[in-house]
A and B are shown apart, each in its own frame.
Chain A
């Protein structure tokens, strides 16, 4: 049995390690093999980019060697897949190597697509790559005051990031002593300040208290120097525009026509690609209507690890993914809260506390143990 994991981000890494532990006997006997192919020999802690953008984390803290995070029984190659031949259970990599599999797991992730909105990339700061996060910090550090607008595209990775970057910007400007020279204006695509109603009910009064203005039902249509225009025929003028850009799936998924927008149609419980019994999808790569977040990939990977191991050992999966998501929410002023929910249970976030902020700060370092599958 050959299990091929495509993608070495959070989902792929946790899944491969989970499988390597569950199938240690089969791996030792040689009856099962786990291969991972990825585009990079480095593993990035993507949530750290938010912190880099406001000077709270250094870029060196973002990375570990991918191989160091993997169980030694996993055969790891830096050789990204370029072609999927699902009918013949094989992929072709960049180097031209053809790899056959019995079970395929696709965890290629998503990417910011600022180019989807005319003028956005040229006029806004964003923080979804190391280069962009560093450029944003440089721009912030030279900013002396004026109108700052936060604008969010759809869909986007990490649903908490629009709120978190807004509160972090407030903290940053306060720390620099220029908060009284800043007008911070938050915009959001739907009719409240966050997707989750209880989070929106908490955040809007916080904005009011801090003097952060906001406009909802604001979907970016176009950006020109100094002004962002919405599909709803509204606009916001800015001296500095910060964006959570719209996202799409990876190019290789689009090129192979595996899913519209680069997101693969996926069964919400079994996590198999629709119409394929031996192809599984996890993390940002799915088209599931749930948060594109590291914790989603994590919980999906745990369910898939259990199921794929059961398929290898017993021929049948043993559980469904229940839609579990857990997201920290940095609330500024040294406090944080969290939202936890699944397909059947809505979130019920509590008031932010400094304890949760420190727990999140600790998790930023504990992540590496999480990727290894230790916690």
Chain B
């Protein structure tokens, strides 16, 4: 059974949301879902860019109370 892993990268600058997502993705199992929370303006563009380049899957993306939520699934 896959689990959803919360990656809370709100209000962090270094290493930043994408690097946090990559770190957590490496520790996750194939099939796991990860929900990244980010307040970084660049995340809306750079997270999908990396996810698509590597070949994982974006399940959902939305903004709630100024926090970007991106839910991704580890494919490989």
Contacts and interface: CB of A to CB of B under 8 A. Distances in A.
Interface in B1-47: 7-9, 11-20, 22-23, 26-27, 42, 46
A291 B18 CA distance: 13
A116 B23 CA distance: 12
A343 B12 contact: yes
Contacts of B15: 154-155, 159, 195, 289-291
Given A195-B16, A289-B17, 16 more contacts: A154-B22, A154-B23, A155-B15, A159-B15, A190-B22, A190-B46, A191-B49, A195-B15, A217-B49, A246-B26, A289-B9, A289-B15, A290-B12, A291-B14, A343-B11, A344-B11
Contacts of B23: 154-155, 261
B46 A191 contact: yes
Contacts of B20: 289
A261 B19 CA distance: 15
A196 B40 CA distance: 11
Enumerate the 6 nearest inter-chain pairs by beta-carbon distance, A residue then B residue, closest first.
Answer: A155-B23, A195-B16, A289-B12, A195-B15, A190-B18, A289-B20
Nearest to B76: A231
B8 to A, nearest CB: 7
A232 B54 contact: yes
A77 B22 CA distance: 38
Interface of B is mostly: helix
A195 B50 contact: no
A372 to B, nearest CB: 27
A290 B14 contact: yes
Interface string A335-362: 0000101011011000000000000000
Contact of A191 (B8, B11, B18, B27): B18
A196 B53 contact: no
30 contacts: A116-B26, A159-B15, A190-B18, A190-B46, A190-B50, A191-B46, A191-B50, A195-B13, A195-B14, A195-B15, A195-B16, A195-B19, A196-B13, A217-B49, A217-B50, A217-B53, A219-B54, A232-B53, A261-B23, A261-B27, A289-B7, A289-B9, A289-B12, A289-B15, A323-B12, A339-B14, A341-B14, A343-B12, A344-B11, A346-B13
A285 to B, nearest CB: 15
A261 B24 CA distance: 9
Contacts of B54: 219, 231-232
Contact residue range for chain A? 20 to 34
Contacts of B50: 190-191, 217, 232
Contact of A196 (B7, B11, B14): B14
Given A154-B23, A191-B49, A323 B42 contact: no
Nearest to B56: A231
Interface string A188-220: 011100011100000000000000000001010
Given A231-B54, A246-B26, A197 B11 contact: no
Given A190-B19, A190-B46, A341 B13 contact: yes
A155 B19 contact: yes
B26 A323 contact: no
A16 interface: no
Given A154-B19, A231-B54, A289 B8 contact: yes
A196 B42 CA distance: 11
A327 B26 CA distance: 26
Contact of B16 (A190, A260, A261, A327): A190
A189 B11 contact: no
B14 A347 contact: yes
Contacts of A195: 13-16, 19
A100 B32 CA distance: 38
A246 B46 CA distance: 21
Interface string A285-318: 0000111000000000000000000000000000
Contacts of B19: 154-155, 189-190, 195
A190 B38 CA distance: 15
A197 B12 contact: no
